[in-house]
Amino acid sequence: MMLRQASRLLAGSVRLSRRPFSTATEVPAAATTTNADSGFMESWKKVIPNIDPPKTPSHFMNPRPATPSSIPSKITVNFVLPYASELSAKELGLFGLYAFLLTCFLVECDNESVGKEVVGEAEVWNRQWEVVARSFFRVLRKVVVPTQRKKGEVMVMAQESGGEGEMVAAAKQREGKEVDMVIIPATTGQMGVLPGHVPTIAELKPGILSVHEGNDVTKYFLSSGFAFIHANSVADVIAVEAVPVDHIDPSLVQKGLTDFTQKLSSATTELDKAEAQIGVDIHSALNAALSG
């Protein structure tokens, strides 16, 4: 009983002392913090009123451009690779890369629908992934349902996702590229993305990404990845490996195709068959890219 009263008194004193502190510490923070952090700031101040809240990742990131009320004339494409960038944008490239990793995680969860079930499953996972899992849901909610963007937790997962290290790499800040249309090679077929496109997350298959700007078309061959199309006509395209079509060597493609078709016919185990099938898919896509 004493303990209960003690905690109540403590809470009471915290509440009283919070007012002078909140005005003092919030002024510098408010200038740079977006609304996204207000929840974190409040809970911090409730528990630790005497220490300034740490700077969250949101503090360093520019907020996502707001959804314009009318459809813009151009779509901004961020095309981000782990090691380089083709057309990519400030901050949003980072966000896209993290979102990509998050989506990989979700795909690994064997659940391709973005829904409450996923969150339920994800949150049951052990501590290491808990932070990651919560951030997934927030990120995906932002992408699929365009409301205000909370960026706080997203950064944490970059360090924790580990896995096959190649995909986790620092993406630098760059300028955005505004184009008229991009055609992305989604698993459901070639998808054309124009400004004002419905927010979508598309898993990509090996294929060509074509960027149309006025009369110029630039084509890149992507190995696989994801494309996130946001409500504010910004698209993030993320791939592990992407090359302009002229960098592909046709003789190697033909050789690879014949090799893998042969492996496919002689494969015995499920695993061999799957690997050969992947080989055949990618080489035939390369072939189509070269001739198309």
Please give the residue ranges that form the binding site for other proteins (CB under 8 A): 83, 104, 107-108, 110-113, 117, 120-121, 163-167, 206, 221, 223-225, 240-241, 243, 246-249, 252-253, 256, 270-271, 273-275, 277-279, 282-283, 286
Q: Rounded to the nearest whole angstrom, what is the least distance from the CB of residue 272 to other proteins in the complex?
A: 9
If the CB atoms of residues 98 and 195 are measured against other proteins, the closer one turns out to be 98
- Parallel/antiparallel/unpaired status of strands 234-239 and 225-229: antiparallel
- The Cα 267–Cα 274 span in angstroms is 9
If the CB atoms of residues 29 and 240 are measured against other proteins, the closer one turns out to be 240
Q: Rounded to the nearest whole angstrom, what is the least distance from the CB of residue 134 to other proteins in the complex?
A: 18
Q: Rounded to the nearest whole angstrom, what is the least distance from the CB of residue 108 to other proteins in the complex?
A: 6
If the CB atoms of residues 41 and 253 are measured against other proteins, the closer one turns out to be 253
Q: Rounded to the nearest whole angstrom, what is the least distance from the CB of residue 125 to other proteins in the complex?
A: 13
Q: Rounded to the nearest whole angstrom, what is the least distance from the CB of residue 40 to other proteins in the complex?
A: 30
SS (H, E, C) 150-203: CCHHHHHHHHHCCCCHHHCCCCCCCCCEEECEEEEEECCEEEEECCCCCCEEEE
Instruction: Look up residue 212 and give its two tokens.
Output: 């149309």
If the CB atoms of residues 180 and 275 are measured against other proteins, the closer one turns out to be 275
Instruction: Look up residue 35 and give its two tokens.
Output: 């609304």
- Which residues, at least 6 apart from 193, have a Cβ–Cβ distance to it below 8 Å? 75, 181, 182, 183, 184, 227, 229, 235
- Burial of 248 from C-beta contacts in 10 A (0-12 / 13-18 / 19+): middle
- The Cα 68–Cα 91 span in angstroms is 19
The closest alpha carbon to 15, from 61, 49, 60, 39, belongs to 49
If the CB atoms of residues 194 and 278 are measured against other proteins, the closer one turns out to be 278
If the CB atoms of residues 143 and 253 are measured against other proteins, the closer one turns out to be 253
Q: Rounded to the nearest whole angstrom, what is the least distance from the CB of residue 77 to other proteins in the complex?
A: 20
Classified as helix, coil or strand, 217 is strand
If the CB atoms of residues 92 and 282 are measured against other proteins, the closer one turns out to be 282
Q: Rounded to the nearest whole angstrom, what is the least distance from the CB of residue 161 to other proteins in the complex?
A: 9
If the CB atoms of residues 156 and 248 are measured against other proteins, the closer one turns out to be 248
Classified as helix, coil or strand, 86 is coil
The closest alpha carbon to 239, from 95, 101, 76, belongs to 101
Beta bridge partners of 177: 77
- Parallel/antiparallel/unpaired status of strands 75-80 and 177-179: antiparallel
Residue with tokens 């046709």: 250
Q: Rounded to the nearest whole angstrom, what is the least distance from the CB of residue 292 to other proteins in the complex?
A: 16
